[in-house]
A = this chain, B = another copy of it.
Amino acid sequence: MSRVAGALWRSLPAWQVYGANTGVGKTVLSTILCKVSSRFHPERKVWFLKPVSTGPLEDADDGRHLNRYARDVNSKCLYQFNQPVSPHLAARRPSDTDILDSISQQLGTWAKEGPGFAVVETAGGVLSPGPNGSLQADLYRPLRFPVVLVADPRLGGISSTIAAYESLSIRGYDISAVTVFTDAYYKNHEYLEDFFGEKGIRVFGIPFPPARDEHSVSKDEKSMQAFYEDVINHPNIGNLLAALSTKHERRIGELGTMAARANDVIWYPFTQHQLVSPSNISVIDSAYGDCFQTFTNKPADGDTTNNEVLQFSFDGSASWWTQGLGHGNPDLSLSAAYAAGRYGHVMLPGGIHEPALSLAEDLIDLLENPRLKRVFYSDNGSTGMEIALKMGLRVSCDRYGWDASQEEVGILGLSGSYHGDTIGTMDCSEPSTYNKRVEWYRGRGYWFKFPTVKMCKGQWVVEVPEELQEHLFDNKTFSSLGSVFNLEHRKESDAAYLYRDYIKSTLQELVQRDSRKFGALIIEPLILGAGGMIFADPLFQHTLVQVVRENPQLFSSRDDLPPPSPATSWSGLPVIFDEVFTGLYRLGRRTSASFLDVHPDISVHAKLLTGGLLPLSTTLASEDIFNTFLSPQKTDALLHGHSYTAHAVGCQVALTSLKKMLHMEKSGYWNSFVDDWTSANALLKKATATTTSDPVESENPVVWSSWSHGLVRDLSYAESVEGVFALGSVLSISFRDESGGGYTSAAASGLQSKLAQGSPGFNVHSRVLGNVLYLMASMTSKPDELRRIEQMVRSALLL
């Protein structure tokens, strides 16, 4: 995918002319536009660009036509095919990226030549395939030119014009104007005026050009010439030009005021507004793939005649960890619209609809966890975790005979965990910067400190917090990330026994000495996200789950407890995995549980669930947990539910997203990433085999990241870097922080600023958590594109 800036230049209003169908007069309209601009704005240069042209039968002579009838226009065709066929059938084809880059460069060059006016003509209809088969409106989407749509004046033309408009709309195009050659018989223009008028789009009727005189070229030319002379005086043509100019000015004006307006009315999440000013609000004009198109006030390269209004910004937080299939993905857009058209939203309780049912079935299959049999829908990760919590507390209180309204039943978790912003889920985490200022927050539980994984100076290290070292061990180094994940081997190691003893004795103290009660074990598997991108030793998490399951007597002295851990029933405590962030391929696999070699009883998924388009969350649970809520009493049910539970649009989009990601998995979409990490791991293992404490490399767990192993290694040697890791689409860099970390860190925000500054026309939007700067790719990001970002990181840190 090309990384071009959106097509918007301050002094070069530019329009892409699309036709509702082939043969509707795009070239004539383009010629008119060029001529009238020359007439009314002689101070502007007029430019005409035909990116792809396909021979005489269609409109290969567009350029010639234009040159003949609008002599003062500078016209250019970038790619000319001689066969009168759809360009995707032609030979010697430029790539889509080439085409986009050429257009962008060409217009950029023209924009430097002073005030101008440009028309970019398309070929065929809006969805005619381009040279590589991508539909034209998809091909040009990264540029998102404003569109002039030439309607079809013929019989059936109302249908094709509106359908073309809809196809452009679902790809996020803005239609600046519709033009229609007025036909007195079919009167399409009358209908279209009403139709588009309601949508705030003006329709400009234009007299029909003369019929082609097939017998005399000169007569033909003469009558055409006369037509043009005449038509540019038609009031609608002047109005059209004026309307386009106004749109152009207004769009740039809006982009210029949006930050200040947002600063006046928006209350931003997780934002200290005293530190916000319009200058640090980035105005997003649109987004595509893994990039935003953002408004830029500064000339890109110091050249004041260069007046690009938009730059492209890599969406380096994957839009708060949600992005999977790219912004502006047309398949997701169409899926959303299909469900909206078929259902709108229909209430779930008492009924069922196909997207909710299929998604539940697909998820149960996809997660490959034999415990999970039931799907409870909600709207976001936080509500999904509230539901999980309600499930967990109920079943343990029920089994152990606790009355939680009278006695405090807490949860077991990990230090630095984070499960959401609603107060109930906040209570599942220990006091932190996030929750300590929330008046009703009451942390309820116990949170284990635990060993973490990172790369330091070229080696993978399991690092044990100082206060645990007396119970456990000092830091351990590993030959590769794969060997850290080799649980088959590590389960039998000393570390495993030490972990087990430590966990067991801690629990004994808590329950027996301190009389604490626990209702659930809640874990973010592998990576604790909001807590600061903390990579937990998988062996520790594995062991924690095993100890809890194998020792129900730790939690209750009742002697009528079911035997520990039958294959699919909970034992000890219900185990809840918060995979809201880590699940559904974010770490490269369907679940992050699969790295830990344990199956939770309850698993919560959100964010990537809809591919990064819409809020939707699912809490999956085992049948025995579900059964605990069965009773003749309605009030024993799980009394939770939001109005838009399992909204059809979200479910349909999720269905499409999961299907696409599964296809990517199966078709090896990420193979080059896997190869990079596999070969790097092998090399590293060889180089360090004699110095590490665990030389056994697992063949089994494939561990990879879309961020290159080379970058991770080089970062790990950087002086300012304390540790680094990458997994799946996540890269996390912990900086040494003299100030002691906390909510912000100078080193991390230093890198953030440099990335935000970027290079001309391109920057990287990133997020910082304390002393950690992380970058997160989309699941569709391509290697060469990510390497370009990595280069920016390297430059910023002088690697």
Q: Count chain B CB atoms within 10 A of each CB in A173, A292, A380 and give the residue with the most.
A: A380
Indicate if A118 sits at the interface (CB-CB under 8 A).
no
Find out whether the CB atom of B156 lies under 8 angstroms from the CB atom of A338: no
Residues of B within 8 A of A381 (CB): 642-643
Choice from B155, B337, B356 contacting A124 with Cβ under 8 Å: B155
On whether A344 and B374 interact (CB within 8 A), knowing A133-B191, A357-B261, the answer reads no
Nearest CB of B to A765, in Å: 7
If A163-B163, A265-B364, A613-B345 touch, whether A421 touches B639 (CB-CB below 8 Å) is: yes
Contact A266 B169 (CB under 8 A): no
Given known A166-B167, A170-B334, A409-B439, contact A640–B270 (CB-CB < 8 A):
yes
A272 contacts which of B169, B280, B374, B631 (Cβ < 8 Å)?
B631
Closest to A391 in B: B267
Is A722's CB within 8 Å of the partner chain B?
no
Among A85-93, A463-471, A591-599, the stretch that binds chain B is A85-93
C-alpha spacing A377/B271, complex, angstroms = 13
Interface centre among A125, A332, A340, A635 (most CB of B within 10 A): A340
Query: Measured between C-beta atoms, what is the minimum distance from A549 to chain B in Å?
Result: 21
Flag whether A634 is at the interface (Cβ < 8 A): yes
A644 proximity list for chain B (CB < 8 A): 322, 380, 614-615
A632 lies within 8 A of chain B by Cβ:
yes
In the assembly, what is the distance between CA of A273 and CA of B642, in Å? 18
In the assembled complex, which residues on chain B have CB atoms less than 8 Å from the CB atom of A357?
258, 261-262, 265-266
Partner of A376, one of B269, B441, B444: B269
Please report the C-alpha to C-alpha distance between residue A743 and residue B283 in the assembled complex, in whole angstroms.
50
- Within residues 381 to 395 of chain A, which ones have a CB less than 8 A from any CB in chain B? 381-383, 386, 389-390, 393-394
Instruction: Given A163-B167, A341-B333, A343-B287, decide whether A86 and B191 contact each other with a Cβ distance below 8 A.
Output: yes
A434 at the interface (CB under 8 A from B): yes
Is the CB of A438 closer than 8 A to any CB of chain B?
yes
Which chain A residues in 281-301 approach chain B with CB under 8 Å? 281-284, 286-287, 292, 294
Give chain B residues whose Cβ lies under 8 Å from the Cβ of A397: 439
Is A160 within 8 A of B158, CB to CB? Answer: no
Residue contact A160 to B21, C-beta cutoff 8 Å? yes
Query: 1/0 contact trace for A166-186 toward B, CB 8 Å?
Result: 110111110000000000011
Task: Check A379 against B22 for contact (C-beta < 8 Å).
Answer: no
Q: Is the CB of A360 within 8 A of B265?
A: yes
Interchain CB contact under 8 A, A170 and B163: no
Cβ of A334 and Cβ of B337 under 8 Å apart? yes
Task: Give which listed residue, B124, B319, B383, contacts A422 with CB less than 8 A.
Answer: B383
**B424 near A440: Cβ-Cβ < 8 Å:** yes
Residues B344 and A340 in contact, CB atoms below 8 Å apart? no
Is A758 in the interface zone, CB < 8 Å from B?
no
Asked if residues A641 and B383 are in contact (CB atoms below 8 Å), the reply is no
Closest chain-B Cβ to A286's Cβ sits at a distance in Å of: 5
B274 touching A632, Cβ below 8 Å: yes
- CB of A129 within 8 A of chain B? yes
Interface core residue of A170, A186, A273, A409 (most chain B CB under 10 Å): A170
The answer for the CA separation of A131 and B284 in the assembled complex, in Å, is 43
Q: Which A residues between 12 and 68 are near B, CB-CB below 8 angstroms?
A: 21-23, 57-58
Checking B268, B274, B353, B379 against A631 with a beta-carbon cut-off of 8 angstroms, the contacting residue is B274
Q: Can you offer 16 A-B residue contacts whose CB atoms are under 8 A?
A: A21-B21, A22-B159, A23-B155, A163-B164, A170-B341, A172-B341, A265-B357, A266-B375, A267-B638, A269-B641, A275-B632, A328-B340, A397-B439, A423-B424, A434-B639, A635-B743
Q: Contact at A186–B85, with CB atoms within 8 Å?
A: yes
Q: What residue of chain B has the Cβ atom nearest to residue A372's Cβ? A: B265
Q: Please, which residues of chain B bring their CB within 8 A of the CB of A639?
A: 270, 421, 433-435, 437-438
Q: Is the CB of A404 within 8 A of B632?
A: no
How far apart are the CA atoms of A427 and B606 in the complex, in Å? Answer: 25
Q: In the complex, what residues of B have CB within 8 A of residue A171's CB?
A: 341
A321 contacts the other chain (CB 8 A): yes
Q: Output the least CB separation between A768 and chain B (Å).
A: 11
Would you call A578 an interface residue if the criterion is a C-beta within 8 Å of the partner chain's C-beta atoms? no
The interface centre, meaning the residue of A173, A327, A607 with most chain B CB atoms within 10 A of its CB, is: A327
- Asked if A281 and B351 sit within 8 Å, CB to CB, the answer is yes
Shortest 8 CB-CB contacts between residues of A and residues of B: A269-B641, A125-B159, A172-B342, A423-B424, A22-B156, A172-B341, A404-B439, A327-B344
Inter-chain contacts of A159 with B (CB < 8 A): 21-22, 124-128, 135-136, 164
Q: How many copies altogether? A: 2
Give bound CA distance, A281 to B128, whole Å: 45
CB of A339 closer than 8 Å to a CB of B = yes
Which residues of chain B have C-beta atoms less than 8 A from A273's C-beta? Answer: 626, 629-630, 637
Query: A361 contacts which of B127, B167, B265, B352 (Cβ < 8 Å)?
Result: B265
Instruction: Report chain B residues within 8 Å CB of A268.
Output: 348-350, 641
The answer to whether the Cβ of A373 comes within 8 Å of any Cβ in the partner chain is: yes
Supplied contacts A169-B334, A266-B374, A274-B631, 6 more A-B pairs, CB within 8 Å: A124-B156, A264-B373, A266-B375, A320-B347, A344-B612, A421-B641
With known contacts A169-B341, A744-B634, A282–B350 Cβ distance under 8 A: yes
CB neighbours of A582 from chain B (8 A): none
A706 within 8 A of B: no
Determine how close the nearest CB of chain B comes to the CB of A338; give it in whole angstroms.
5
Report if A259 contacts B (CB, 8 A): yes
Identify the closest chain B residue to A396 (Cβ).
B439
Q: How far is the CA of A141 from the CA of B162 in the complex (A)?
A: 17
Residue of B nearest to A341 (CB): B172
State the CA gap A343–B292 with chains docked (Å): 8
* C-alpha gap A164/B343 in the complex (Å): 20
Cβ contact within 8 Å between B22 and A317: no
- Bound CA–CA A439/B411 (angstroms): 12
Known contacts A133-B191, A323-B345, A394 near B635 by CB under 8 Å = no
Report the separation of the CA atoms of residues A427 and B267 in the bound assembly, to the nearest whole angstrom: 25
- A187 within 8 Å of B (CB atoms): yes
Give Cα A254 to B352, complex, Å: 12
Tell me the smallest distance from the CB of A263 to a CB of chain B, in Å: 9
Task: For A22, list chain B residues within 8 Å (CB).
Answer: 155-156, 159
Asked whether A634 lies within 8 Å of B275 as measured between CB atoms, the reply is yes
A451 at the interface (CB under 8 A from B): no
Once bound together, how far apart are the Cα atoms of A323 and B169, in whole Å?
Answer: 24
CA distance A685 to B194 in the complex (A): 45
Interface flag for A248 (CB, 8 Å): no
Does A519 belong to the interface (CB within 8 Å)? yes
Q: A322-B643, A394-B439 are in contact. Are A350 and B765 (CB under 8 A)?
A: yes
A294-336 interface bits toward B, Cβ cutoff 8 Å, 1 = contact, 0 = none: 1000000000000000000001010111110011111011101
Q: Chain B: which residue is nearest A376 at the CB level?
A: B267
Contact A167 B162 (CB under 8 A): yes
Q: A346-B319, A361-B261 are in contact. Are A382 and B286 (CB under 8 A)?
A: no
Given the interface pairs A155-B124, A280-B350, A338-B170, the reply to whether A615 lies near B642 with Cβ below 8 Å is yes
- Tell me whether B386 and A519 are in contact (CB under 8 A): no
A755 an interface residue at 8 Å Cβ cutoff? no
Task: Tell me whether A515 is interfacial, beta carbon within 8 Å.
Answer: no
A636 contacts partner chain B, Cβ-Cβ < 8 Å:
yes
> Are A269 and B645 closer than 8 Å at their CB atoms?
yes
A202 in contact (CB, < 8 A):
no
Complex Cα spacing A351 to B258, Å: 10
Whether A633 is near chain B, meaning CB under 8 Å from some CB there, is yes
